Amino acid sequence: MDEVDKIRNEINQVDERILEALANRRKLAEQIIQAKEIAGTPIRDSSREERLLADLITKGRNRGLDAHLVTRVFHEIIDDSIRSQQLHLLDYGKAGLSRVAFQGIQGAYSELAGRKHFAPYLDRTVFTGVETLEQVVNAVEDGDVEYGLLPVENTTAGSMNEVYDLLSVAQLSIVGEEVLRVEHCLLTADDVPLAGIRQIYSHPQALAECMKFVAKLPNCQAMPYADSAMAVKKVSDEKSSGIAAIGSEEAGKLYGLKVLRRNIEDQQNNFTRFLILARKPATIDLRIPCKTSLIMATPHEEGSLLKALSLLHEYKINLTKLESRPIPGMPFQYIFYIDFEGNTAEGRIAEAIEKLRTATTSLKVLGSYPAQHRAKTSPRVEVLAGGAPEVIEEPPEQPAARKEKVGYKLASRDHKPDDTIIDVRGVRIGGPGFVVIAGPCAVESPEQILKCARYVRECGGALLRGGCFKPRTSPYSFQGLGFEGLQMLADAGREYDLPIVTEVLSPADVEPVARYADVLQIGARNMQNFSLLSEAGRSNRPVLLKRGMMSTMDEFLNAAEYILDRGNHQVILCERGIRTFETATRNTLDLGSIPILRRLTHLPILVDPSHAAGRRELVIPLALAAHAVGPHGLIVEMHPEPEKALSDGPQALHFSEFADLMRRIYQG
């Protein structure tokens, strides 16, 4: 045996020990649920999870493991233990053989969702494909199957109207939901160039989710078909080189087609939600976090929907979805579909529903079922940054700001007294928290941005920054890698679970960049590019707006107003230094603007010490000074090898300096 074989052998043994440990852990989790059953305590205890993670991260670091790796692995482990505890409390597992109807043939997304949902019982579950969604409902109503699966909404293409209409007449209950990440492939019988494809077959919903991709192909027609897997089968049966299907990789494998392109959906995060229907409502143990769905109609009079919804508010019920559909035969009258968090078995929810009956003309409870989304407990940033937990206090009450005639309205505190908090994939910017956004000035290569992402994550950074379209003073300087760079940034963000922020330079780029970026940056040089501001205002992505280098507070807030006025209420302001007579720094960091802005506006405010300083050795002192004047966070530049950076190298922090900054910020 040579050296490599020996090491591989040892690795195999380690892997087996990991499996054994996982199996042991799962057994213990099952014992816990028995004990909890007696005590009646909820399955999850997030403060215990938080302490557990903090402890594991410290122990992992002592053994040379990344906090991110430890967190990721334990998220999966904790999730598995919650899932197995939930399964223990569900009815599904107690039944014998389950038959499940879905629309389509083998390989359809509905079937994939079904397999995911019933994964623990696949040995006892039989899937039957039927032709239409209505037949799915009929099969359950007639008792031919125990469960039916209906796709109800997609995050790109929206709600399935037909399913909502079926739900209103079906004599069925919702007993579960499943969310499937849908990654569409372009499938063909043989290797043809994209330009050679004349027709693409798929379900209309799948075609809608890939509309932009299909529209870009010359002389190519989208052909709606009953179901995506049937379209795949058709293309496989016909074997003609000009036709293709959009479907899952699994369907492609099943029917012997080649994957010509992967991930052709217009939005990177493309999910479809399915409902699981049964004849009888499920009784779900109160320890499982649930959702409840209902259909209601309100009297045709002013304020009636508001009255119904404020009842839910009164009972502190969190709505997750509200959908309206026309009532057949009654023009311009609507029924409403409502999903909210809670279980009809809870007293509070049952009481709210009874009250709701008095405010509606009809009400049908569709059922309570376990919520698919299980939030992940994150380690506290103080743990990541290596410091002790710190309580950040709300700033004390301030006397009202001086009343002056200003051109902006929506941005002002008068308009909205409470701080705006912007949620970027779970990261909250604004309000009491403090976030640090970091990354290189420009994305330069996959390796460079991955290294930055890993380090930002390790130190407790909240978002990853990286310019792909660079506004350079000289046209001969590096201009950024464009969309290629954006893909690298998105991949790095996904790998390390960090939302990403990148700059857009032109109105035409807003929409394509927003497909990848979680936050759009509008740079100092573009602060008064009104067409860019307006276009960003039509986007639904948060916008990080930097202060122009010669702009007053008033001009800055009016620039934000353009975005707000166009309908996008998610604007983050950023002070990055202004131009003065002083040349010792690249710009002069105007820290006085922070307390002023905090009084004038409800919008979150960040400070960028990097572009203000222009020199690395000034970045940490300026960042610490900025932290002291009360912004909601910082955005800083760092680079694995600042000396080799293609832009803004002199101001980029080395990784060790970034770690030091994080420690000093979060250790207080």
CA dist., res. 183 & res. 102, Å (int): 19
Is 640 a binding residue for ligand PEP by CB under 6 A? The answer is: no
**From the CB of 467, what's the least distance to Mn ion, in Å?**
6
Token code pair at residue 627 = 């932290």
CA dist., res. 180 & res. 270, Å (int): 9
Beta-ladder partners of 364: 295
3-class DSSP assignment, residue 633 = strand
Write phi, then psi, for 306 (nearest 5 degrees).
-60, -40
Contact stretch for ligand PEP (CB under 6 A) within 15-23, 191-199, 200-208, 521-529: 521-529
Q: Which residue is nearest to ligand PEP (CB)?
A: 523
Nearer to Mn ion, 442 or 564 (CB): 442
Is 356 a binding residue for Mn ion by CB under 5 A? The answer is: no
Q: From Mn ion, ligand PEP, none, which one binds at residue 524 (CB under 5 to 8 Å depending on kind)?
A: ligand PEP
**From the CB of 457, what's the least distance to Mn ion, in Å?**
21
- Please, which of residues 42-81 interact with ligand PEP by CB under 6 A? none
Nearer to ligand PEP, 410 or 441 (CB): 441
Is 608 a binding residue for Mn ion by CB under 5 A? The answer is: no
- Please, which of residues 331-370 interact with ligand PEP by CB under 6 A? none
Is 602 a binding residue for ligand PEP by CB under 6 A? The answer is: no
Q: From ligand PEP, Mn ion, none, which one binds at residue 451 (CB under 5 to 8 Å depending on kind)?
A: none
Given a contact cutoff of 8 angstroms between Cβ atoms, the answer to whether 307 and 359 are in contact is yes
Q: From Mn ion, ligand PEP, none, which one binds at residue 289 (CB under 5 to 8 Å depending on kind)?
A: none
Q: From Mn ion, ligand PEP, none, which one binds at residue 449 (CB under 5 to 8 Å depending on kind)?
A: none
Q: CA-CA distances (angstroms) from residue 319 to 291, 293, 311, 337, 338?
A: 9, 10, 12, 11, 7
Nearer to ligand PEP, 338 or 622 (CB): 622
CA dist., res. 237 & res. 334, Å (int): 44
**From the CB of 647, what's the least distance to Mn ion, in Å?**
6
**From the CB of 452, what's the least distance to Mn ion, in Å?**
13
Is 441 a binding residue for Mn ion by CB under 5 A? The answer is: yes
Contact stretch for ligand PEP (CB under 6 A) within 117-125, 137-145, 250-258, 523-531: 523-531
Q: Is 530 a catalytic residue?
A: no
CA dist., res. 322 & res. 51, Å (int): 36
Is 648 a binding residue for Mn ion by CB under 5 A? The answer is: yes
Is 471 a binding residue for ligand PEP by CB under 6 A? The answer is: yes
**From the CB of 520, what's the least distance to ligand PEP, in Å?**
12
Is 444 a binding residue for Mn ion by CB under 5 A? The answer is: no
3-class DSSP assignment, residue 86 = helix
Classify burial at 190, counting beta carbons within 10 Å of its beta carbon; exposed 0-12, middle 13-18, buried 19 or more: exposed
**From the CB of 587, what's the least distance to ligand PEP, in Å?**
8
**From the CB of 440, what's the least distance to ligand PEP, in Å?**
9
**From the CB of 441, what's the least distance to ligand PEP, in Å?**
5
Which amino acid, one-letter code, is at 347?
G
Q: Is 588 a catalytic residue?
A: no
Q: DSSP characters for 140-157?
A: HHTTS-SEEEEEEEETTT
**From the CB of 530, what's the least distance to ligand PEP, in Å?**
17
Of positions 151, 379, 467, 542, contacts ligand PEP by CB under 6 A: 467
Is 454 a binding residue for ligand PEP by CB under 6 A? The answer is: no
Closest CA to 378 of 664, 54, 45, 661: 54
Given a contact cutoff of 8 angstroms between Cβ atoms, the answer to whether 189 and 235 are in contact is yes
Of positions 167, 359, 441, 486, contacts ligand PEP by CB under 6 A: 441
- Contact track, ligand PEP, 561-590, x by CB under 6 A: ---------------x--------------
Total of chain residues touching ligand PEP, rule CB under 6 A: 10
Q: From ligand PEP, Mn ion, none, which one binds at residue 546 (CB under 5 to 8 Å depending on kind)?
A: ligand PEP
Is 611 a binding residue for ligand PEP by CB under 6 A? The answer is: yes
Q: From ligand PEP, Mn ion, none, which one binds at residue 523 (CB under 5 to 8 Å depending on kind)?
A: ligand PEP
The catalytic residue among 274, 556, 655, 658 is 274
**From the CB of 512, what's the least distance to ligand PEP, in Å?**
20
Q: From Mn ion, ligand PEP, none, which one binds at residue 535 (CB under 5 to 8 Å depending on kind)?
A: none
The catalytic residue among 272, 298, 360, 420 is 272
Given a contact cutoff of 8 angstroms between Cβ atoms, the answer to whether 380 and 54 are in contact is yes
Please state whether 256 falls in left (phi above 0), alpha (psi between -120 and 50) or beta. Answer: left
Residue that the structure tokens 């049937």 belong to:
230
Q: Number of H helices and number of E strands within the chain?
A: 22, 25
Token code pair at residue 26 = 């799962």
Under 8 Å CB-to-CB from 570, ≥6 apart: which residues?
420, 422, 541, 542, 543
Given a contact cutoff of 8 angstroms between Cβ atoms, the answer to whether 517 and 541 are in contact is yes
First-last CA distance in the chain: 55
Which stretch of DSSP H or E encloses residue 205?
helix 204-209
Closest CA to 382 of 420, 422, 433, 453: 433
Given a contact cutoff of 8 angstroms between Cβ atoms, the answer to whether 263 and 283 are in contact is no
Parallel/antiparallel/unpaired status of strands 221-224 and 199-202: parallel
Under 8 Å CB-to-CB from 272, ≥6 apart: which residues?
109, 113, 151, 153, 154, 155, 179, 180, 182
Nearer to ligand PEP, 222 or 524 (CB): 524
Q: Which residue is nearest to Mn ion (CB)?
A: 441
Beta strands across the sheet bearing 221-224: 221-224, 199-202, 243-247, 185-188, 258-261
Which amino acid, one-letter code, is at 164?
Y
Contact stretch for ligand PEP (CB under 6 A) within 239-247, 263-271, 350-358, 520-528: 520-528
Q: From Mn ion, ligand PEP, none, which one binds at residue 250 (CB under 5 to 8 Å depending on kind)?
A: none
CB atoms within 10 A of CB 300: 11
Token code pair at residue 363 = 């009400």
Is 639 a binding residue for ligand PEP by CB under 6 A? The answer is: no
Q: From ligand PEP, Mn ion, none, which one binds at residue 257 (CB under 5 to 8 Å depending on kind)?
A: none
**From the CB of 234, what's the least distance to ligand PEP, in Å?**
50
Binding positions for Mn ion, rule: CB under 5 A: 441, 648
Question: Which residues of this chain interact with ligand PEP, rule CB under 6 A?
Answer: 441, 467, 471, 523-525, 546, 576, 608, 611
Could you list the active site residues?
Answer: 272, 274
